[in-house]
Amino acid sequence: MHVIASRIEEILESPHHFLLLHETEGRVDGTLFVTLCLDPMFGTLPFAVAENVALDAGESGEEVRLKLFAEAENIAREHRSTKLMLFAKEVKVLRNDLS
């Protein structure tokens, strides 16, 4: 992995990319990257992609994961996304009913 500060700044300034962080007691214990993508199938509505999930393996990992994905769903809803997909080893649709 190679993280560049200027790239993080670019992501934070973009209206189509969201780098979500979860902190516990001042320590980052989870991240999730969300992208809004143009969709040719549904007029001007986008679809959302969640990827690059990184979680601390501690006992609160499941709780952190749920909070990050809840925020990803909120972002998708706010932007009227037609779906939210998770890119992992397999592509999975997390939510297809975001209304």
What residue segments make up the domains of the chain, in order of their start?
5-95
pLDDT for 44 equals 95
List the CATH code of the domain at 5-95: 3.40.630.30
Average the pLDDT over 43-63 and give the result: 88
Using the predicted structure, report yes or no on whether residue 92 has a pLDDT greater than 50.
no
- The first and second tokens of residue 23, run together, are 């902190």
- The first and second tokens of residue 20, run together, are 């979500």
Average the pLDDT over 79-89 and give the result: 90
CA–CA separation, 67 and 64 (whole Å): 5
Per the model's pLDDT, the better-predicted residue between 59 and 65 turns out to be 65
pLDDT confidence bin for 56, thresholds 50/70/90: confident
Beta-carbon count within 10 A of 30 CB: 22
For 42-81, letters b (16+ CB in 10 Å) and e give eeeebbbbbeebebeeeeeeeebeeebbebbbebbeebeb
